[in-house]
A and B are shown apart, each in its own frame.
Chain A
């Protein structure tokens, strides 16, 4: 599938590192999302972008910094993360924020040492 792609698929970083996660959607959608998926927990919505404008920030620590340069690309910049930030980070997109169906990317498995 090539609808929503994410890179890298796996990432190991130290607490002092700076890294970025990339998401790209080829569906012509106008809304993009970042979710955090931890074991035994529901998917947690982190950020929502609509037409490159951030419309929701779900009380996410500032060590996570999103960027949406255009409606097809979404980044999540990471710096000074904590071990508890280790998780699967999923990107999703939808036609717009009023269309409920979201299409997910394969995720980036992040391990913070």
Chain B
């Protein structure tokens, strides 16, 4: 089955700096890659996603890049703010007979320091 690895597990940056979180996946058939943000005590929320036919997608300060050949994708947050502090999860989705199945990474605890 699909295996998703995520690095780093913790990341501390100064406010205003950029943060990059990387994920690799094992199954080349994976075709959809969402990123979720989970603030302390709250639900995971989708912040950005990318499909396998696209190499890069940007939404304001957040961008995601995908390298299908290398089977890795990354989340980039620019001009970080304290409210960006949260756990970020990547996931890879593969289409099975029963529908799409999401496999998640282990999460990255991002801390933005003042």
Residues in chain A within 8 A of chain B (CB atoms):
1, 4, 31, 40-43, 45, 48, 50, 55-56, 90, 96-107
Which residues on B sit within 8 Å (CB–CB) of A45?
A: 101-102
13 CB-based A-B contacts, threshold 8 Å: A42-B4, A42-B89, A43-B104, A45-B101, A50-B98, A55-B98, A55-B99, A90-B43, A100-B32, A100-B34, A101-B34, A104-B44, A107-B43
Q: Tell me if A100 and B42 are in contact (CB < 8 A).
A: no
Q: Tell me if B98 and A56 are in contact (CB < 8 A).
A: yes
Count B-side interface residues using an 8 Å CB cutoff. 24
Chain A CB within 8 A of B65 CB: no
Chain A CB within 8 A of B18 CB: no
Q: Tell me if A100 and B102 are in contact (CB < 8 A).
A: yes
Q: Tell me if B98 and A42 are in contact (CB < 8 A).
A: no
User: How far apart sit A50 and B99, CA to CA, in the bound complex (Å)?
Assistant: 9
Nearest 8 CB-CB pairings of A with B: A97-B99, A42-B104, A43-B104, A55-B98, A104-B43, A100-B32, A106-B43, A100-B100
B89 closest partner in A (C-beta)? A43
